Amino acid sequence: MLDLKSDVRQLLISLDQQVVLGTAYDTAWVARVHDNGNSSVLAFPHTLDWLRQNQHSDGSWGSLIEFYHDRIISTMAALVVLNESGTPTQDAEAIRRGENYLHQRFRFLHQDPCETVGFELIFPTLLEKAWQLDMSLPYSQCDRYYHIREEKLQLIPPELIYSRKVTSTHSLEFMGSDLDIDRTIELQEKNGSFGNSPSATAYFLRECRDNPEARRYLAEAVDAGGGVAMPLHPVEIFNKSWTLYNLSLAGFLADPSDEMRVHLDFLYQTWDARRGVGFSTQYSVPDLDDTAVVFKLLRLTGYDVDPAVFLTYEKDNHFMCFPYERTPSIGVHVHLLDALRVCPEYEHQPRMVRKALDFSRAQLRKCRWFDKWHASPYYIIAHAVIATIGYDNGLARELVSCIIASQRAVGDWGYYCPTGEETAYCLQALMTYHQQVEPLDRGILARAAGRLYDYYQTQNYPALWIDKCLYTPLRVVQSAMTSALRMYETF
């Protein structure tokens, strides 16, 4: 048997470490940064070597899972740097294979259930750069993305393009050759980054090499990533809160340990009564997803936080995650439902519950099971089961039936391929339903737990979380697996 209590303790001790695994997309942008004193020397030459060593056999770069938006944007970014800074004799075959992949896959973009973050802004800019570099790509297949970019930009007031208060700064590289350097300084965070994004910061340093703060940030981020770049850094609020959310499902918040209380105190110190929180104290844009999760954790453990914060995000028929977003997030509504459960005395709680539940119910019953922050439908289905119990047990029962019907014979789950992360989410949902609503077939639960034990020990974590590309928040994924197994062992 595993010593899950000991594993939880080690997990909590390690929560202050940077644990988002590196990605090809962000590493490709960092590889394009030149030394401040010599424009012919790369500032991070080892990142170019890493790209050469991490091309997939089909010619692409990106996650092990073939999520087309991720693979295409990662491959384009890698091809740009190989064309700019590579060696013709060394990199010609890699470039040919990458271009061949894009010729074959561009037409499949519509098959993905959702886009990566900022894709509609970044993709046209990369196409323009590829054209300048005379890359062989099927450009005619991509005309519609220029129109989508214009639609997105029309949602953002022009004066806010150069504001840290909107999420477009996180995807600053979409500006291409149109960046106004003088105004861009207004976008820089205190840690030197642009949008807490290594790729956006690397882009800025391509346009403005003489910025010591941005260089220090990028060097620190690459060092934290073990020599490669990740899509977000730092992510300390997200990392702590979502890890604790998973552990709360297994009852670990009932009597918080000293190691857990340290992280709860930190989350309380970051709380803003009007805006809530974002994914990091170093990022200027709060969001409802992190706010809802942190609110629930703090309320459950005795901290005084006011649910009036949710009014900031309320719209006529739904709740927004970020200002000026193009599409609402179903995950936000599910997590808000879960948070509202712990403040039944709040005067606006019934109205908010109805609105969040109506939106969630409509989406889920239309089988819209994908969120903008995760590539797997099991993430949303499982979290929706947990959130809707007590509000709409009939809906929870329907979702549980979907989970059970899609379990593989060996006991696990996976949309693209079976994974431990997706299996953990499904087992969390089934155990919650089993304990709070009605008993389930114990054979189903036992097969899921048995398979999850195998995944737990192999420690293989394919990237499923969505930013500008797919990524893995290691501690969050590990906590989901630990939580699910603990729930099974103690029922």
What is the average pLDDT across 474-485?
A: 97
Taking the C-alpha atoms of residue 239 and residue 15, their distance in angstroms, rounded to an integer, is 7
For the packed helices 119-132 and 68-85, what is the interaxial angle rounded to 10 degrees?
30
CB count in 10 Å sphere of residue 419? 23
DSSP 411: S
Structure tokens at 409: 């014979």
- Give tens-digit pLDDT for 223-258: 999 999 999 999 999 999 999 999 999 999 999 999
Structure tokens at 315: 């719209």
Taking the C-alpha atoms of residue 471 and residue 488, their distance in angstroms, rounded to an integer, is 27
Burial group, residue 113, by CB count within 10 angstroms (0-12, 13-18, 19+):
middle
pLDDT band of residue 491 (cuts 50, 70, 90) is confident
pLDDT band of residue 121 (cuts 50, 70, 90) is very high
Looking at 54-58, 323-327, 437-441, which range is the least confident one?
323-327
For the chain, what is the largest distance between any 2 Cα atoms, rounded to a whole number of angstroms? 69
- Give tens-digit pLDDT for 381-421: 999 999 999 999 999 999 999 999 999 999 999 999 999 99
Q: Does 151 score more than 90 pLDDT?
A: no
Q: Does 1 score more than 80 pLDDT?
A: no
pLDDT of the residue at 149: 86
pLDDT of the residue at 248: 97
Q: Does 326 score more than 90 pLDDT?
A: no
Domains belonging to the chain, first-starting first, are 24-224 (1.50.10.160), 236-489 (1.50.10.130)
214-217: long-range contacts (C-beta < 8 A, 24 or more apart)?
Answer: 214/188, 215/36, 215/43, 216/192, 217/191, 217/192, 217/193
CB count in 10 Å sphere of residue 413? 26
pLDDT of the residue at 398: 97
* 3-state secondary structure at position 399: helix
Q: Does 165 score more than 90 pLDDT?
A: no
pLDDT of the residue at 38: 84
Q: Does 472 score more than 80 pLDDT?
A: yes
CB count in 10 Å sphere of residue 122? 27
pLDDT of the residue at 414: 97
DSSP 126-194: HHHHHHHTT----GGGGTHHHHHHHHHHHHS-GGGTT-TTSGGGGGGGGGGGG--HHHHGGGB-TTS-B
Q: Does 317 score more than 80 pLDDT?
A: yes
Taking the C-alpha atoms of residue 199 and residue 209, their distance in angstroms, rounded to an integer, is 14
What is the distance of C-alpha 363 from the center of its chain?
21
pLDDT of the residue at 325: 86
Taking the C-alpha atoms of residue 407 and residue 411, their distance in angstroms, rounded to an integer, is 6
Is residue 229 a contact partner of residue 193, using CB atoms and an 8 Å limit?
Answer: no
User: Is the backbone peptide bond immediately before 323 cis, with ω within 30 degrees of 0?
Assistant: no
pLDDT of the residue at 453: 96
